[in-house]
Amino acid sequence: MSVALTFAPELLLQAQGRSLGVKAAIFDVDGVLTDGTLFIGEAGEMMKPFSSLDGQGLKLLRLGGIEPIVITGRDSAAVRRRVSDLGLVHAVYGAGDKLAAAEALLAALGVAWADVAAIGDDWPDLPLLRRAAFAAAPPGAHAEVRAAAHHVTAAAGGHGAAREFCDLLLLANGRYGTLLAQFGGSGATLDAR
């Protein structure tokens, strides 16, 4: 069975219609790149569990020509380390107003909202999801966020939701198969276009 079959055909068509030509994808951290759990040590140090599957998805997205952007309401050494380890160039930490942070970053990149996809899980993400051409949320997201999303992932936040979002964007934009072939897989039948 090809990977394209794991997404319903109507979802792929909707994703193609909404995300074709997407140049950037915005990711929240807590609840999307992590499961939302915060481990805080006695001395105040913070640790967060990240998925290597999600990390590979972010790298593949960038290789596929879609710039991953991290915008998070928290600022922690753990998140900065993860972003750095993944080689991500664009991130805003401690964003009290995620929309203002996104607009400044998108303006600097010369990217319009019509060319943006976004994934988030709580109210601070709503302004981004409502402006993005294609919006997603993990299943554990707040009800208002799930209602604003074009797609709710099957995988949970921190457990493959970001990878699923990345794969869907790559499939919708005809880049999945080419990337898979670069890694030694057979990508001939995987693109949905």
Q: Closest by alpha carbon to 136, among 18, 8, 6, 5?
A: 18
The rounded distance, in Å, linking the Cα atoms of 149 and 172 is 17
pLDDT, position 191: 37
Task: Say which residue the tokens 């897989």 belong to.
Answer: 185
The 10s digit of each residue's pLDDT in 45-87 is 778 889 999 999 999 999 999 999 999 999 999 999 999 999 9
Q: Are strands 24-27 and 116-119 parallel, antiparallel or unpaired?
A: parallel
**Domain-wise residue ranges, the chain:** 22-179
Give the amino acid at 40.
I
Q: What is the mean pLDDT of residues 95-114?
A: 97
Positive or negative, the CA dihedral 137, 162, 140, 12 is positive
φ and ψ at 136, to 5 degrees?
A: -135, 165
Cβ count near 143 (within 10 Å): 8
| Position 143 confidence tier, pLDDT thresholds 50, 70, 90 | very high
State in words which class domain 22-179 has. alpha beta
